Amino acid sequence: MKLKIVKDNKPSLRKKSIPVDLPLSSEDIELLYSMNEYLKLSQDEEYAKKHNMRAGVGLAAPQVGVNKRMFVVYVNDDENVYNYILVNPTIIETSSKLCALRNGEGCLSVDKEYDGLVHRHYKIKIKAFNLLTNKEEIISACGFVAIVLQHEYDHLDGILFYDRIDKFNPLKEKGNEILL
């Protein structure tokens, strides 16, 4: 399935997505695996260059034009691969400890670069149906992976990372956050 990334000038990216019917339809399954494949390929330097793709670590259904509550995460940090295909996620626990990426966040739907700290919970627990294991799971994550999960989760509510940057002082630290 050929995927087209919806950019942030499209109103559909700002809509709240709707819950997904379970068991998943074959259409939804096909879409989710295509999204997963897209992320993997986007991280293959040669392939990405040839196909003019930006490397991504997460992709939410609204970013490919489907306003349903599901997203994919693929993070490969050389030691571990964190791959999730999540449907109807809910964040059930968050740490009061915050974190942010020193160099800011990026998004496949946002072509412009936005400098600024995006504060996220350092640790989270998410309950969701995971297509990769075919069951409902509770996923615990911290640091970078937790940031990616929260970024993708935001897409389901029509929120983009730059909405969370302090407009008056983008690089303002809170003092107790972990900068990654």
Angle at Cα 6 formed by Cα 130 and Cα 149, nearest 5°? 35
- 86 touches Zn ion by CB under 5 A: no
Say whether residue 148 binds Zn ion (CB under 5 A). Answer: no
Residue 152: active-site member: yes
107 versus 124: smaller Cβ distance to Zn ion: 107
Q: Is 107 in the site for Zn ion (CB under 5 A)?
A: yes
61 burial (CB, 10 Å; 0-12 / 13-18 / 19+) is buried
What b/e readout covers 83-93, taking b as 16+ CB neighbours within 10 angstroms? ebbbbbbeeee
Query: Could you give the 3-state DSSP secondary structure of residue 155?
Result: helix
Residue 109: CB minimum distance to Zn ion, A = 5
Q: Is 61 in the site for Zn ion (CB under 5 A)?
A: no
Nearer to Zn ion, 107 or 117 (CB): 107
Is residue 13 involved in binding Zn ion (CB under 5 A)? no
Positions in the binding site for Zn ion (CB under 5 A): 107
Annotated catalytic sites, by residue?
Answer: 152
